[in-house]
Amino acid sequence: MMILAGATLFAVIAVMACVTLIVGARRDRRFRRRVILARGETPFTETERRSQGAALPVRMVGAIGRGISRSGILPASTVAELQLSLTRAGLRDGSWLSVFIGAKIVLLIACPLAALLVTRELAMSSAIGRLAPFLAGIVGLLLPDKILSTVRTRYRNALEQGVPDALDLMVICTQAGLGLTATMHRVASEIGYAHPHVARELAETVSELQIAVDSAAALVALGTRTDLDGFKRVARTLVQSTQYGTPLAEALRSLAGEMRQEALTRYEEKAARLPVMLTIPMIIFILPCVFIIVGGPAVLQIGKAFHH
C-alpha cells in the first residue's frame, strides 16, 4: 500500500510539473523577451537557450525520456516524427523531446497504479477494479499527445494572426529597397513584440538564408517547419520572385490581401453558424420557460377545476 501511495504521489507531482512547464513556458518567454527588449538586445536569441533551473520532477522525467530515446528502443522514424511534432508546436529545444517521451512512460506506469489504489480504497467491484487501471493507462499514454495538440493549435493560431501583418511590413521594407534577407531580418526585429512566434520563425529563416547555399531550400523549410499554409504560400511567393525576378512588393501585397480576405471569410462563416449553434440552448433552456409562462396559468386553472 505504501508503494502504491508513493507511486501515486510521484505521478501527481510529475503531471503537475509537466503541465506547469508547458502552460507556463509562453508566459516565461514573454517575460524574458521584455527584459531583453529593455536591455536593447535582440529578443530572439533567448528563445533558443535551454531553460535553467527547471523543477526537479521535470528533470527526472526528462532524464527518463532521454535514456529511452538513446537506448534505441524507439525507432528512429518515431523519434523523428515526435521531434517534428514538437517543432511544429514551437517547442524547438531538444530537451522537450526527452520530457515528452518521459512523461508518456511515467504516466503510463503511474496512472494505472493510481487507479488501482483508488479502486481498492473505495472498495469498488471487481469488474471496475480490473477495468479502471486499463483505462487509466490509456489516459496516461494519450494525455501528453493531447497537451501537445493543444499547444500546437495555439501556436498555429498565433502564427496565422501574425502572418498578414508580417507581409505588410515586408512590403514596406522591399519598397524601401531592402533585399530579401535584410527585409526578413528587419521584420523579425520589428514585429517581435506584437507577434513573437512569427518573428521567431522569420529569424530562424534569416539564419538559414545566411548559411545556406540554396536560398529556395531555406524558404521552403519555413513552410515545412511550421506546417502552416500561410507560410507555405509566402515561401512559394518568395521563391518565385527570386527565381524569375518578379516584383516582390506587388506579390507580397497581393498575398497579404488574400490572407486578410480569407481570415474575414472565416470569421463570417463562424458568425453564420451562430444561429444553428444557438438552436439547442434555446430548445433546452428558453422554450421550457416560455411553455411554463404561457401554459402555467391554464394548467393551474384546470387543476383547480378538477379539485373542486
Dump pLDDT digits (tens) for 21-71: 555 666 666 666 666 656 555 444 443 444 444 556 777 787 888 888 777
**Structure confidence at residue 50 (pLDDT):** 43
CA 183, CA 168: separation in Å to the nearest integer? Answer: 11
- Single-letter amino acid code for the residue at 177: G
Structural contact between residues 151 and 22, judged by C-beta atoms closer than 8 angstroms: yes
CB burial of 189-218 (b: ≥16 within 10 Å; e: otherwise) equals eebbeebbbbbbbbbbbbbbbeeeeebeeb
Residues of the chain with pLDDT below 50 are: 4, 42-53
Res 8: pLDDT? 57
Q: What is the pTM of this model?
A: 0.69
272 burial class (0-12, 13-18, 19+ CB within 10 angstroms)?
A: exposed
CA–CA separation, 78 and 224 (whole Å): 18
